[in-house]
Amino acid sequence: MESIISTPKDEPFPYKAYFLEKKEDGKKFVGLFAHEMVPVELIRASGVHVVPLVFVGPEEYSSTGGSFITHSACSFARNIVGGFIHGDISFYKYIESIIRTNYCNGDFIGMEYLCREYNMPCIDLSIPMKTQGYSLAFFHEQLKRFKQKLEDVLAAPIDEAEIRRQISIHNNLRQVLRRLLDLGIRGAELLHRYQEAAVLEPAEMIARLDCLYFQEAAQHSPPSSSSSSNPRIMLSGDPIFINDFFGDWLEEFGATIVYYDTWIGGRMAEFSIDEVDPDVYHALAKGYLMEQGLERSVPAAMEKRIKRVSSKVGTQKIDGIINHTLKFCDFQAIGRTEFKDRLGQHVPVLDIERDYAQSNLGNIKTRVEAFIELVKGGA
């Protein structure tokens, strides 16, 4: 594992070898599709290996997925389902059970299909849509039930001391991830670190970041992308998932992202779980619902998002925002116009809606290049 963890920062991370090694260690694999609001600390406390379903493939996957689940599901959910059907993402076949939530349409429909067709148990978690006191109490109760379901399906008792240990180590990772921005890591390099952090176990990711950036030897070589004089661009909205070519395209077109306002991005690191709360379930519910999930909650999700992004525009000295929407993602699509109109009064905003088709390359290139010229003119 040590050689995998220390893979050089400019080389693709060997996810396949990583999962194979976990499998050889005899770990059970649990698939996790839902974004950002499932306390992974609880799942990892059961001793299983979490396989986040964040590996996408070509457009063909989305078409295949669309033949089995509704075409009104987002292109990401269809792509993940298509990835299972094509069977090219080899480590998916080790998954024995799947977490299913009501986070969004894509999660519920996609995971229902996979559990049924691949005969895997679904471990359900209900996530509230509001952040009132009663919503917090509801989520608190749901997390206790979730723990019970994990124990039943995985046949592994979950010890409270282990939950606390997991909370502490995940908090440590969040702290280390925050330091990447201070080092000036940006662009595809920054994106790859966030993608790895979404997949690796937290202690391994901390060791990886230590080896790449924080050990004495690493400090002699400054981050490869830190000296760029390109305008400071924020990517907001849907994240760029692993294997998606979009991150490289943006870099090629001159858009170097300095802040990813996405859940596989800066937002992974900007909350923490209270380690001294005597009730671990309350601590997890509060952290994930009241800090991490604010922009999914109704009413006023857009107000919260605009407030947060505006503040980041100031602190990260952002010159322009690319608002990224994956086709049929309801969360993102609903507020696109309002986001552009309101934030556009302060900083240029480019609104891009896309799927995994490569045929859009020319169109996106023209729009991104024109946007960068506009931003440069005003920077």
Q: Output the smallest distance, CB 264 to ligand SF4, in A.
A: 11
CB of 74 or CB of 185, closer to ligand SF4? 74
Using the rule CB under 6 A, is 100 a contact of ligand SF4? no
Concatenating the DSSP letter of every residue in 113-153 gives HHHHHTT--EEEE---S--SHHHHHHHHHHHHHHHHHHHHH
Using the rule CB under 6 A, is 242 a contact of ligand SF4? no
Q: Which two tokens stand for residue 116?
A: 């049924």
Q: Which residue stretch of 14-22, 102-110, 159-167, 218-226 sits at the interface with ligand SF4 (rule: CB under 6 A)?
A: 102-110
Task: Determine contact, residues 287/274, Cβ cutoff 8 Å.
Answer: yes
x/- letters, 275..314, toward ligand SF4 (CB under 6 A)? ----------------------------------------
Question: Among 83, 82, 96, 80, which residue's Cα sits nearest to residue 35?
Answer: 80
Max CA distance (Å), the chain = 60
Using the rule CB under 6 A, is 241 a contact of ligand SF4? no
Question: How do strand 233-237 and strand 122-125 relate by DSSP bridges?
Answer: unpaired
Q: Output the smallest distance, CB 356 to ligand SF4, in A.
A: 12
Using the rule CB under 6 A, is 125 a contact of ligand SF4? no
Q: Which residue stretch of 16-24, 61-69, 104-112, 201-209 sits at the interface with ligand SF4 (rule: CB under 6 A)?
A: 104-112
CB of 112 or CB of 369, closer to ligand SF4? 112
φ, ψ at 320 (rounded to 5°): -165, 155
Out of 35, 44, 286, 324, the only residue in the binding site for ligand SF4 (CB under 6 A) is: 35
Out of 59, 201, 204, 238, the only residue in the binding site for ligand SF4 (CB under 6 A) is: 238
Using the rule CB under 6 A, is 177 a contact of ligand SF4? no
Q: Which residue stretch of 13-21, 137-145, 277-285, 323-331 sits at the interface with ligand SF4 (rule: CB under 6 A)?
A: 323-331
The Cα 235–Cα 259 span in angstroms is 6
CB of 238 or CB of 251, closer to ligand SF4? 238
What does the CA dihedral 203, 208, 213, 214 come to, rounded to 10 degrees? 40
The Cα 171–Cα 328 span in angstroms is 33
* Burial (CB count within 10 angstroms: exposed 0-12, middle 13-18, buried 19+), residue 369: middle
Q: Output the smallest distance, CB 357 to ligand SF4, in A.
A: 16
Q: Restricting to residues 189-228, name those near ligand SF4 by CB under 6 A.
A: none
Angle at which helices 75-86 and 105-117 pack, to 10 degrees? 20
Q: Output the smallest distance, CB 144 to ligand SF4, in A.
A: 25
* Residue 312 neighbours by CB distance under 10 Å: 18
Q: Which residue stretch of 74-82, 127-135, 246-254, 266-274 sits at the interface with ligand SF4 (rule: CB under 6 A)?
A: 74-82
φ, ψ at 254 (rounded to 5°): 90, 5
CB of 146 or CB of 331, closer to ligand SF4? 331
For residue 24, how many C-alpha atoms fall within 13 Å in the half-sphere facing its CB? 7
CB of 104 or CB of 176, closer to ligand SF4? 104
Using the rule CB under 6 A, is 77 a contact of ligand SF4? yes
CB of 106 or CB of 287, closer to ligand SF4? 106
Out of 51, 56, 104, 240, the only residue in the binding site for ligand SF4 (CB under 6 A) is: 104
Task: Determine contact, residues 236/323, Cβ cutoff 8 Å.
Answer: yes
Q: How many residues bind ligand SF4 (CB under 6 A)?
A: 13
Q: Output the smallest distance, CB 346 to ligand SF4, in A.
A: 26
Question: Among 262, 284, 263, which residue's Cα sits nearest to residue 272?
Answer: 284
The Cα 8–Cα 357 span in angstroms is 29
- Collapsed DSSP state (helix, strand, coil) of residue 29: strand
Per CB under 6 A, residues contacting ligand SF4 are 35, 74, 76-77, 104-107, 238, 326, 329-331
